[in-house]
Structure 1
Amino acid sequence: MCEMINKEIAEIVSEVQEKKQELSSTTDQIKMLNKDRTKKASQRKERQREEGTIHRKVTEARNKVKMADRDLKRAMPGRVSQGIDGLERIIQDLGEKLRGRVFGPLYKLIEAEDERFNTAIEVAAGPQLAHVVVDTDETAAQLMTELQRRKLGRVTFKPL
């Protein structure tokens, strides 16, 4: 009987040792997972900061482009500026029909590798920077007709 009790005690002690090892292993896993979670939370916060920075830079760039467009349009004759604005409205209205057929004004298509050359480009091209590049004469005729019909201004087209 004593032998059976000692055997049961030994089994219980053995089970307790196994459970302690399992508990220790599980505790280590929990610590590792918590550490990993903390690291990922830190990475997420860093990415959110980067995303915010990128968003601000994109917004600033868009604002600069809008200001540059505004300045450029102020430098153009009134009817030409009106025409480009009108053309943009027509393109929005007829979007699908004109997709891939209207490339835009030259000033939006030409980009100098170095900003120092922008003045040279502006001087050399002059008012022709406001000419709008389209795919064919037919597209140009269609757009001119629409501009005249809506009385949206005047634009010179350059078919490819």
Structure 2
Amino acid sequence: FHVFDFCFAPQEKKLMEEIERLKDEIHGCDENVQNRRSNITSMESQIAQSREGFNIYKEKRDRLHDKRKSLWNQENGLTAEIDKLRAEVEKAEKSLDNAIPGDVRRGLNSVRKICKSYNISGVHGPIIELLNCDEKFFTAVEVTAGNSLFHVVVENDDKSTEIIKHLNRQKGGRVTFIPLNRVNAPRVTYPQSSDVIPLLKKLNFKHDYTPAFS
């Protein structure tokens, strides 16, 4: 009996060591599995967050896409409106050109070119471009002012003298200038009646140009 125990003692010890080793290996595998499960849970959370973020950005992209389409539609509408207004301006300019005597029209065009070429400042433009009023007064203004609407307002007589010099040399047409430093506005007394309204009070223009309209 003792001999039998002696024979199996080393083998039992070896088996016990193998069992302990396997237990350690199983424990290591359990830890590895647990770590993998933890990693999977973390990755699933990241995937869920990424999916949520993707959905948010997708919604944002869709909103921006809709906004872009809306802006395109607005741009197309504005472009059409601008084209319409441009056509109306061209039509109005042609009508205005037809209303201006040829030599005066040529003179106004020459003044613009001269001012640009020689960098002449202090030239405010013709009266017609410096005033604004209700459409119902257009005819009254046109009849009252006549060709004076095309007189060019300048800061002082030095400006007009310089421009006239170039006009004469270029034979650039006829222009009448209104130097603001030379205008002496007459004192006008209007009838004190509710039926009388001075046309001047219906015109809108910069205060600096008041002498030219008096």
TM-score, normalised to structure 2's length?
0.66
Q: How far apart are the structure 2 equivalents of 1:66 and 1:145?
A: 31
1:98 aligns with 2:98: no
CA distance in 1, matches of 2:72, 2:115: 36
C-alpha separation in 1, matches of 2:94 and 2:152 = 17
- Deviation per CA, 1:44-73: give whole Å up to 9, x if none: 232233233323323332332232122112
2:78 maps to which residue?
A: 54
CA distance in 1, matches of 2:125, 2:64: 45
Deviates more, 1:12-21 or 1:115-124: 115-124
Q: CA deviation at 1:156?
A: 0.6
Q: Is the 8 A contact 1:103 1:132 kept in 2?
A: yes
Q: Report the counterpart of residue 110 of structure 1 in structure 2.
A: 131
One-letter identity of the residue aligned with 2:123: V
Which 5+ residue runs of structure 1 have no aligned equivalent?
Answer: none
Aligned runs of 1:113-152 on 2, under 5 Å? 114-152=134-172
RMSD: 1.8
Number of equivalences: 156
Q: Aligned residue for 1:4?
A: 28
CA–CA distance in structure 1, aligned partners of residues 60 and 174 of structure 2: 63
Match of 2:112 among 83, 88, 92: 88
Q: Which range is displaced more, 122-131 or 1-10?
A: 1-10
**Aligned equivalents of 1:43, 1:33: Cα separation in 2:** 15
User: CA offsets per residue over residues 9-48 of structure 1, 9 Å max, x none?
Assistant: 2221121111001001001111111221221122223223
Say yes or no: does 1:78 pair with 2:98.
no
Query: Between the two proteins, what is the percent identity of the paired residues?
Result: 28
The amino acid that maps onto 1:17 is T
Q: Larger radius of gyration, structure 1 or 2?
A: 2
Give the unaligned 5+ runs of structure 2: 1-22, 181-214
Letter in 1 for 2:129: K
**Which deviates more, 127-136 or 80-89?**
80-89
Contact 1:74 1:81 in 2 (8 A): no
- Map of 2:61 onto structure 1: 37
